[in-house]
Amino acid sequence: MSLLAGILELDKQVFLSLNSFFPASSDTFWLAITKTITWLPLYVVVLARLIKTAPNHSTWLFRIALTIVGVLLWDQGAGFFKEWMARPRPCREEIEGMRVLVHCSPYGFFSAHAANAFGLAFLMRKWLKPSWFPILLVVALLQTFSRIHLGVHYPLDLVFGGLWGILISTILVRIDHNFS
């Protein structure tokens, strides 16, 4: 067995353990957690805080523009890698004992949910008060785990999605720093 095959097998085993970690009675909770609309009030508050804490009009406009660019890069980057890597989602494979709760598109490497959630958390970490970061980090962790519970991502899909989000956020923060 090659190293890559061993890693993928371990990823599958961890997925199976986590996919059935919470009982079926929690399915509604995880379905709500994964929806962007659930978090819309939080994102509106974050946006309001971003505007309120910016030193001037041009700063908050620039940061909102950078956030929009971030969302596009996190989301479209995930889409590019999904097609390029073509790793099937767990829900596309016949894995005994797996639960699938949502529609399943073909490829899952890497997770746009994880990229967006961690990207936003790490981007706002630099622009909002430090007390916001733990809140956004918990949201990112919940959204990310929900993808395993729903049966649509392996753990490595989520790890690499989170890393992509953090990488893009780091670049955007540097752009903002150079602008300021």
> Which tokens sit at 100?
């699938």
User: Is the sign of the CA dihedral 76, 78, 84, 89 positive or negative?
Assistant: negative
Query: What is the pLDDT of the chain when averaged over all its residues?
Result: 93
CA distance 15 to 153: 8
The burial class, CB within 10 Å (0-12 / 13-18 / 19+), for 122 is buried
pLDDT (mean) for 107-123:
95
Residue 4 maps to a domain: no
Residue 11 maps to a domain: no
Residue 154 maps to a domain: yes
> Which tokens sit at 147?
């993808």
Only one residue has tokens 């969302």, namely 71
pLDDT (mean) for 62-70:
96
Residue 33 maps to a domain: yes
pLDDT (mean) for 90-104:
84
pLDDT, residue 135, reads: 97
Residue 87 maps to a domain: yes
CA distance 152 to 40: 22
pLDDT in tens, 1-56: 698 888 989 999 999 999 989 998 999 999 999 998 999 999 999 999 999 999 99
pLDDT at 180 over 80: no
Domains contained in the chain, number? 1
Strand-pairing partners, residue 141, are: none
pLDDT, residue 98, reads: 82
Residue 23 maps to a domain: no
- Residue 130's domain comprises 29-179
Residue 12 maps to a domain: no
pLDDT (mean) for 60-70:
96
CA distance 30 to 105: 18
Residue 121 maps to a domain: yes
pLDDT in tens, 142-161: 999 999 999 999 999 999 99
pLDDT, residue 26, reads: 93
pLDDT (mean) for 81-89:
91
CA-based Rg of the chain, rounded to a whole angstrom? 17
Q: Say what the pTM is.
A: 0.92
pLDDT (mean) for 93-104:
83
CB 12 within 8 Å of CB 91: no
Three-state helix/strand/coil letters over 115-153: HHHHHHHHHHHHHCCCCHHHHHHHHHHHHHHHHHHCCCC
pLDDT, residue 74, reads: 96
pLDDT at 92 over 90: no
Dihedral class, residue 97 (left if φ above 0, else alpha if ψ from -120 to 50, else beta) = left
Give the pLDDT band (50/70/90) at residue 93.
confident
